[in-house]
């Protein structure tokens, strides 16, 4: 079995073996515990396999949550809303990565509604960072910065703060505010180094440094960008396959801008392979630019 067959088999397992019946057949508390246990597996599968292999399974989970919410009350409802917000935010990200912005926006709105009703400040803040990222995709710098700042006004874990600062930096970069961009990234790095609690576990110090490299490239500091991309790609865990494709695409652009065409072509070819394998629509635009 080659690597592609192995990954496809794993995706099938994620979408069928782990998938519960779409009809509620258990007590809400049992389902809530199951949804919490299985979620990290889907999140990790997304890192490695990409949205095109993970996304088909997600609507059935969300349908199950919606069915249970129709009759849930009290503590069960609050807990179901909280876990549902996490799954809805995840769906929003998957649709965003798959190049379906309307669906991505809709699920972010649902996540916000559920998190707000549950009184889950962490998920409210984390969903705000998702909306900030979507604003950045639309090149709406003011909204990206404002939504990230709204997340930072809440009592949230360090990694969620790191995500928020990183999104704030993205907004400043779109606006061409170089000093503000790197200040926000410095704050993100500090928060990312202090713990791994809460959502946003992907936002490690290495991830923040990759974002710094992308910003260096955007502001024309090409040599610094190349050095950072090369250093952090060498450290990137293999499970972060889609992220590797994004960073290689940016590195390819950096190589091309200094005339290193052989290295640019090699990096671009690997990035294209990752884009095809994962279905991520966020990689090829970087190569086009």
pTM of the model: 0.88
Can you tell me the distance from the alpha carbon of 52 to that of 141, in angstroms, rounded to the nearest whole number?
Answer: 28
SS3 271: helix
- SS3 for 100-125, per residue? CHHHHHHHHHHHHHHHHHHCCHHHHH
pLDDT digits (tens, 9 = 90+) for 181-204: 999 999 999 999 987 777 988 999
pLDDT digits (tens, 9 = 90+) for 55-89: 999 999 999 999 999 989 999 999 999 999 999 99
The pLDDT assigned to 96 comes to 96
Sign of the CA dihedral running 140, 145, 150, 151: positive
Can you tell me the distance from the alpha carbon of 124 to that of 130, in angstroms, rounded to the nearest whole number?
Answer: 10
The pLDDT assigned to 21 comes to 45
Q: Once rounded to an integer, what is the mean pLDDT over residues 222-237?
A: 94
Domain residue spans in the chain? 1-114, 120-203, 221-283
pLDDT-based confidence at residue 255 (cuts at 50, 70, 90) = very high
Check if the beta carbon of residue 119 is closer than 8 Å to that of residue 75: no
């Amino acid at each position: 079995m080659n690597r592609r067959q192995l990954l496809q088999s794993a995706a099938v397992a994620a979408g069928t073996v782990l998938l519960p019946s779409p009809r509620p057949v258990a007590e809400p508390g049992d389902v809530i515990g199951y949804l919490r246990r299985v979620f990290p597996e889907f999140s990790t599968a997304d890192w490695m396999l990409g949205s095109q292999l993970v996304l088909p399974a997600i609507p059935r989970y969300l349908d199950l949550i919606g069915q249970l919410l129709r009759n849930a009350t009290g503590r069960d409802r609050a807990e179901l809303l909280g876990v549902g917000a996490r799954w809805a935010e995840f769906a929003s990200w998957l649709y965003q990565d798959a190049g379906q912005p309307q669906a991505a926006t809709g699920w972010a709105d649902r996540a916000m509604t559920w998190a707000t009703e549950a009184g889950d400040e962490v998920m409210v803040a984390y969903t705000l960072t998702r909306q900030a990222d979507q604003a950045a995709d639309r090149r709406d710098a003011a909204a990206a910065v404002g939504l990230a700042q709204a997340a930072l006004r809440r009592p949230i874990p360090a990694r969620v703060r790191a995500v928020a600062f990183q999104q704030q930096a993205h907004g400043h970069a779109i606006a061409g505010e170089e000093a503000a961009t790197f200040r926000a990234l410095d704050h993100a790095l500090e928060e990312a180094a202090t713990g791994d609690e809460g959502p946003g576990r992907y936002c490690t110090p290495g991830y923040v440094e990759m974002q710094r490299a992308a910003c260096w490239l955007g502001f024309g500091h090409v040599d610094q960008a190349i050095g950072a991309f090369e250093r952090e790609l060498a450290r990137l865990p293999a499970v972060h396959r889609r992220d590797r494709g994004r960073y290689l695409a940016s590195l390819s652009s950096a190589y091309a801008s200094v005339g290193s065409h052989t290295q640019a072509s090699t990096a671009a070819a690997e990035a294209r392979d990752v884009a095809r394998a994962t279905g991520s629509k966020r990689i090829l635009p970087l190569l086009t630019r």
